[in-house]
Amino acid sequence: MSEPQPVRVRIAPSPTGDPHVGTAYMALLNLIFARQRGGQFVLRIEDTDRVRFVASSERMIFEALRWLGLDWDEGPDKGGPYGPYRQSERTPLYAEAVTSLLERGQAYRCFCTSEQLDAMRREQIAAKLPPHYNRTCRRLDPAAAAARAAAGEAFTVRLAVPEQGATTFRDQLRGAITFDHANVDDQVLLKSDGFPTYHLANVVDDHHMRISDVIRAEEWISSTPKHVLLYQAFGWEAPRFWHMPLLRNPDKSKISKRKNPVSLIFYRQTGYLPAAMVNFLGLLGGGMPVADAQAGDTAATEKFTLADMMARFQFEQIRLGGPVFDLKKLRWLNGLYLRALTPEGFLQAVREGMFSADYLAQITPLVQERIETLGQFLDLADFFFLDQVLPPPEVFLPKKRDLAATLAQAAELLTILESAAWEHAALEAALRQLAERTQWSAKEVFMLLRALITGKTASPPLLESCLVLGRARCSDRLRRFLAHPHGAK
Ligand code: GLU
């Protein structure tokens, strides 16, 4: 009899921005799964999307997961027997995989330009058809297509999805799931920049890294038939799939930064304890037996450690309804943890969490120019330490503007804070562009941002202050300002 395959699981975050609470949730579940089964937990960086790539993101992911104590066994920083663990360092493997699919007629080169694909998409939408690739290039003679590619014409490679039939796979929580091939697009596997798409790289790596169980968010279910078809095309055995319920905003929509802080950095910077965050994530979606609820003491039953989870978490008990990422609950839980600290532990948490030497060293240069007595330090710098800054209209409303226009401008500012490159020149350029586009003076735009970030009309240098506060906290200030019922009855 052959040995059962050892359990190997992974998370595969894409370094496209701040580390996301969803990544921590998946890391927690994968880690528990591995530890309960004596398996290995792998961290793989899926950095093949060069357009959305953010250089600092990988380091932030490592730091955030370490802060939470969700450590991995193999990864880009640790190495391991199946490395490298960064997809950008594995491109030869994908090229080899694509060649083998092309040779076997399981994939084909596509020369359609993005203009042609856009036009196709528009026509399909107009005809009320779901957008899909119409397979023009699938009919090309493979040798002729190879010659065009060799002559330097740009191409992508697509999966030749069988035109008839359906693909069925088993989801460990949901049972059999079937997708009719009529609804599965000829997925691009290799982009024209030579980089693989998520689908190809993910399957090739899960195979080569000997992943036994893919535990990921529900949003990937619709990709799974493509993955299963790829495993079949390669002649590889597919891993088991476990799709976890998607975290939701209180209004049940998919969790998003527009409605909730989703950056782990935000939670770290604003004084959440890692143990409370891990506990909170462990409560989402079930899995932890919270047995003694009848006793009425929810605090006693809902409070548990990572070690408790390793001992008692049951994957079979996960509920499929999307768990709400309820900030009120997280704050309540965090409060339990803070109040349970010893006085010394609490002092240390305040010192390290709120007044670390590193943080103070970033702030003092910004106020030194303006100070006359040390007693004024917090008068100048209070906003670096406040949880919420909600200025009244006399502070935030520019003289010539009404409330509606100002709120609309604040929403534009939030978009900039969320998406601009996080450095001085890029932020400044984006703000000036916004002023021009909306016909506000640059001064008005900067004043509004100053009011929303600092709560005041005069402050230390604004953009420098934003950079010290960080993207997550600045965005949160604007989000809370926008959610506030300004004067509404
Ligand atoms: N790179 C994907 C992500 O960003 C990985 C999804 C998966 O686990 O397959 O979430």
How confident is the model over 332-364, as pLDDT tens digits? 999 999 999 999 999 999 999 999 999 999 999
Backbone angles phi, psi at 156, to 5 degrees: -115, 170
Beta bridge mates, 215? 242
Query: What tokens were used for 389?
Result: 């800054």
What integer pLDDT is reported at residue 337 of this predicted model?
Answer: 97
- Predicted structure pTM score: 0.91
How confident is the model over 103-145, as pLDDT tens digits? 999 999 999 999 999 999 999 999 999 899 999 999 999 999 9
Query: What tokens were used for 100?
Result: 């083998």
Least confident of 73-77, 284-288, 295-299, 469-473: 295-299
Look up tokens 């595969």; give the residue.
12
CA 398 to ligand 1 center in whole angstroms: 44
DSSP states along 387-417: S-----HHHHS-TT--HHHHHHHHHHHHHHH
* Confidence label for 51 from pLDDT (cuts 50, 70 and 90): confident
How confident is the model over 211-270, as pLDDT tens digits? 999 999 999 999 999 999 999 999 999 999 999 998 998 888 888 777 778 999 999 999
Is the confidence at residue 28, as pLDDT, over 80?
Answer: yes
CA 213 to ligand 1 center in whole angstroms: 13
- Pocket flag, ligand 1, residue 74 (CB < 6 Å): no
Catalytic positions are 257
Q: What is the DSSP letter of 45?
A: B
Q: What are the residues whose beta carbons fall under 8 Å from the beta carbon of 319, sequence distance 6 or more?
A: 245, 285, 286
Is the confidence at residue 286, as pLDDT, over 70?
Answer: yes
Q: What percentage of the chain has pLDDT greater than the value 70?
A: 97
What integer pLDDT is reported at residue 17 of this predicted model?
Answer: 87
- Pocket flag, ligand 1, residue 106 (CB < 6 Å): no
Q: Based on C-alpha coordinates, what's the Rg of the chain?
A: 26
What integer pLDDT is reported at residue 487 of this predicted model?
Answer: 65
Is the confidence at residue 292, as pLDDT, over 60?
Answer: no
What integer pLDDT is reported at residue 488 of this predicted model?
Answer: 61
Segment 38-65 shows an average pLDDT of: 94
* Confidence label for 489 from pLDDT (cuts 50, 70 and 90): very low
What integer pLDDT is reported at residue 256 of this predicted model?
Answer: 79
CA–CA separation, 304 vs 466, rounded Å? 36
CA 13 to ligand 1 center in whole angstroms: 5
Q: Write down the number of H helices and E strands in the chain.
A: 21, 9
CA 318 to ligand 1 center in whole angstroms: 20
The total of other beta-carbon atoms located within 10 Å of residue 451's CB is: 24
- Pocket flag, ligand 1, residue 202 (CB < 6 Å): yes
Query: What tokens were used for 329?
Result: 């609950």
Which is the closest atom of ligand 1 to the Cα of 217?
8
What integer pLDDT is reported at residue 294 of this predicted model?
Answer: 56
CA–CA separation, 229 vs 325, rounded Å? 34
At how many degrees (to 10) do helices 462-469 and 357-368 cross?
170
Mean pLDDT for all residues in the chain? 93
Q: What percentage of the chain has pLDDT greater than the value 90?
A: 87
Query: What tokens were used for 247?
Result: 């975290």
Ordered by where they begin, the domains of the chain are 1-74+239-341 (3.40.50.620), 91-238 (3.90.800.10), 357-483 (1.10.10.350)
CA–CA separation, 65 vs 61, rounded Å? 6
Segment 174-180 shows an average pLDDT of: 96
- Pocket flag, ligand 1, residue 377 (CB < 6 Å): no
Which is the closest atom of ligand 1 to the Cα of 16?
4
Instruction: Please answer whether residues 213 and 7 qualify as being in contact, where contact means their C-beta atoms are separated by less than 8 angstroms.
Output: yes
Is the confidence at residue 276, as pLDDT, over 50?
Answer: yes
- Pocket flag, ligand 1, residue 47 (CB < 6 Å): no
Is the confidence at residue 408, as pLDDT, over 80?
Answer: yes
Instruction: Please answer whether residues 5 and 212 qualify as being in contact, where contact means their C-beta atoms are separated by less than 8 angstroms.
Output: yes
What integer pLDDT is reported at residue 300 of this predicted model?
Answer: 57
Is the confidence at residue 289, as pLDDT, over 90?
Answer: no
